Each structure stands twice: as structure tokens, then as C-alpha cells.
Amino acid sequence: MQGREEGELELAQRKAEVLTEALPWINKMRGKTVVVKYGGSAMEDPKLMVQVLGDIELLKLMGMRVVLVHGGGKAISAMLTRLNMPVQFKNGLRVTDDDTMEAVQEVLIGKVNQQLVWALNEYGHNAVGISGADGKTLKAVPVSPELGRVGHIREVSPELIETILDDDYIPVIASVACGPDGFFNVNADEAASAVAEALHADKLIYLTDVDGLFADVNDEGSLIRSLTKAETKSILASGELAGGMVPKVRSIVEAMDRGVSEVVILNGKSPHSLLLEIFTDAGVGTLFTQA
């Protein structure tokens, strides 16, 4: 009994230490705009998803203007497979014909977006789900004829997002944009980067399914803790990155080129990585800074 009480006291002291360490960060981040990109790879496990959304709720309660931009690539591929439709990527971007575009809309806007909104609402902080077509928030132009309806963001109109934030809701944005003749499929990493730029965000966070950027993709011990913009550009140019990490790192460079001062890649599968990154001195993941 005595031992258990001592253990409990130690735990309480540790919790108090954590709060003390967090206090300056809470002060620093109050009122700041944080764009969180939540990727399909880290959204697979519903239990983990609930935990991530709980962390987002906490950021909101601590006074941050939190914007959630989401993907859902795995869910789209699963739907296409069920429909016996091809799943094809070039340089990390999905080849998107008209039928594929319909499936993308159904999965991202109809399913994933509303699941996230519903789950955030369960925490008590009301969320509003939009796609890039709402309020013409994301306007895109085609990337190349071989990719079909894949869009590159040409312009972001942040007014609707700002209205939602000003009314104290959490905007949840599906990475579908409007283009010259209908909807376009935009990589969610690029959408998050463009939204962060348009909102002059203080921080852009990519939640994915790995701890950050590895020097060697096959070695989890090779996590790179921090990179400057120049170093990030040379990694991108080296051609060593593969799969979804290519558009992610390209989006990070674009965000930094356009003035976002801090970008982080975090593992959305490790418990409370968001809180550890924002509220602890050491942080976690890979931090990208201007210099």
C-alpha cells in the first residue's frame, strides 16, 4: 500500500513537471495558427485517430487557431479496388480520370471529411467540414494531361476558413479543388502547404505513418531531427525520396519558400506526438526551419 502511494506521488509529480514544461509553450502558441495535415497512412486505425483528434481538440482549447487538412489516399485506393478500377500513381500523384475523380470526391468529401467532423464534434468542439470547392477556397489548374484531373493549387481564398476560425469552429478541409471545368484531385500535402501559406500560419504539421524523414528509408534509426530549407532542397533534388514522401517534402519546401517559418513531420501513429512536439522542449519528429 505504502509503495503504491509512493508510486502514485511520483506519477503526480511527473505530471506536474510536464505541465510546468508545457506552460511557456502554451503561452507562446496561444492565438497562433497551426495547420495540421492528417494523412491516410496514419488514419487507418480508428483508435489512433480518436487520440489524434483529442490532441487537436486540446490545441484548440489552449487558444490555437487549428486548421485540419486531410487526405485519405488509402481509403480512395481501397474504394477503387472494390470497384475494380485501376490504382495508379506517378511520382506519388494518383492518375485521375473522370471516374476516378468521382470516387475521390465520394471518399474524401463524402466519407473521410465527415468522419473527422463527426469525431471532433464528439469531443465537444464543433468542426465544420468543407472541400476546396466551398467558397472557392482552393482553385487548381491541371498538372499534366497524363495525370488527368490532378490539380496543382493556383490560388487559395482563405476567407471561408478565416470565418470558420473566427466563429471558433475547427475547419476540416478535404483536398479537392475547383478548376476550369469541375473538380480536381489535389495531393493533400500540397493542399495543406497552400492553406498554411494563405493563412500566414505559424506552424505546419504533417502527421504521417513514420517518425519523420529518414536518411535511409529502410533504417528507422536514421531519423533526421532537423533540416534547414537549403538542406531540404538538396535532399529533394537528390532523387533519393520515394513514394508519398516526394510530394510531402516538395510541399514543405514550397511552404517555406512562401514564408511559413516552421514545418514538422510527425508520426500520427505514436501516441500524442502532436502534444509532445508543441508542448515539450525537445519536440519530436523532423523539424524544417528557414535557416
Ligand X SMILES: Nc1ncnc2c1ncn2[C@@H]1O[C@H](COP(=O)(O)OP(=O)(O)O)[C@@H](O)[C@H]1O
**Binding site for substrate: what residues are annotated?**
72-73, 94, 185
| Among 108, 245, 260, 274, contact with ligand X (rule: CB under 6 A) | 245
Query: What one-letter code names the amino acid at 159?
Result: E
Residue 94 beta carbon to ligand X2W: minimum distance, rounded to whole angstroms: 4
| Among 33, 41, 115, 273, contact with ligand X (rule: CB under 6 A) | 41
If one asks whether residue 227 binds ligand X (CB under 6 A), the answer comes out as no
Residue 173 in contact with residue 137, Cβ under 8 Å? Answer: yes
If one asks whether residue 251 binds ligand X2W (CB under 6 A), the answer comes out as no
Instruction: Please name the helix (run of DSSP H) or strand (run of DSSP E) that holds residue 177, with its range, or none.
Output: strand 176-179
Query: What one-letter code names the amino acid at 178?
Result: C
Residue 113 beta carbon to ligand X2W: minimum distance, rounded to whole angstroms: 11
Residues facing residue 191 across a β-bridge: none
Among the listed ranges 9-17, 51-59, 167-175, 203-211, the one in contact with ligand X (CB under 6 A) is 203-211
CA atoms within 13 A on the CB side of 12: 6
| Among 65, 94, 152, 203, contact with ligand X2W (rule: CB under 6 A) | 94
C-alpha–C-alpha distance, residues 113 and 130, integer Å: 8
Residue 286 in contact with residue 231, Cβ under 8 Å? Answer: no
If one asks whether residue 39 binds ligand X (CB under 6 A), the answer comes out as yes
Residue 116 beta carbon to ligand X2W: minimum distance, rounded to whole angstroms: 12
Task: Give which of ligand X, ligand X2W, none residue 76 binds (C-beta under 5 to 8 Å, depending on kind).
Answer: ligand X2W
If one asks whether residue 192 binds ligand X2W (CB under 6 A), the answer comes out as no
Nearer to ligand X, 129 or 285 (CB): 285
C-alpha–C-alpha distance, residues 31 and 132, integer Å: 24
Task: Give which of ligand X, ligand X2W, none residue 208 binds (C-beta under 5 to 8 Å, depending on kind).
Answer: ligand X
- Please report, in range form, the residues annotated as the binding site: 72-73, 94, 185
Q: Which residues contact 167 (CB under 8 A, 6 or more apart)?
A: none
User: Phi and psi (nearest 5°) for 45?
Assistant: -95, 115
| Among 33, 65, 71, 273, contact with ligand X2W (rule: CB under 6 A) | 71
If one asks whether residue 64 binds ligand X (CB under 6 A), the answer comes out as no
Closest-approach residue to ligand X (CB): 244
Nearer to ligand X2W, 29 or 147 (CB): 147
| HEC secondary structure over 93-139 | EECECHHHHHHHHHHHHHHHHHHHHHHHHHCCCCEEEEECCHHHCEE
C-alpha–C-alpha distance, residues 237 and 260, integer Å: 21
If one asks whether residue 103 binds ligand X2W (CB under 6 A), the answer comes out as no
C-alpha–C-alpha distance, residues 72 and 9, integer Å: 43
Task: Give which of ligand X2W, ligand X, none residue 214 binds (C-beta under 5 to 8 Å, depending on kind).
Answer: ligand X
Residue 139 in contact with residue 179, Cβ under 8 Å? Answer: yes
Nearer to ligand X2W, 70 or 203 (CB): 70
Q: Report how far Cα 29 is from the mean position of its chain's Cα atoms.
A: 18
Instruction: Please name the helix (run of DSSP H) or strand (run of DSSP E) that holds residue 90, with its range, or none.
Output: strand 89-90
**Interface positions with ligand X2W (CB under 6 A):** 39-40, 71-73, 76, 93-94, 104, 150, 175, 185, 187-188, 244
Residues at the interface with ligand X (CB under 6 A): 39-42, 71, 73, 189, 208-210, 213-214, 217, 241-245, 248
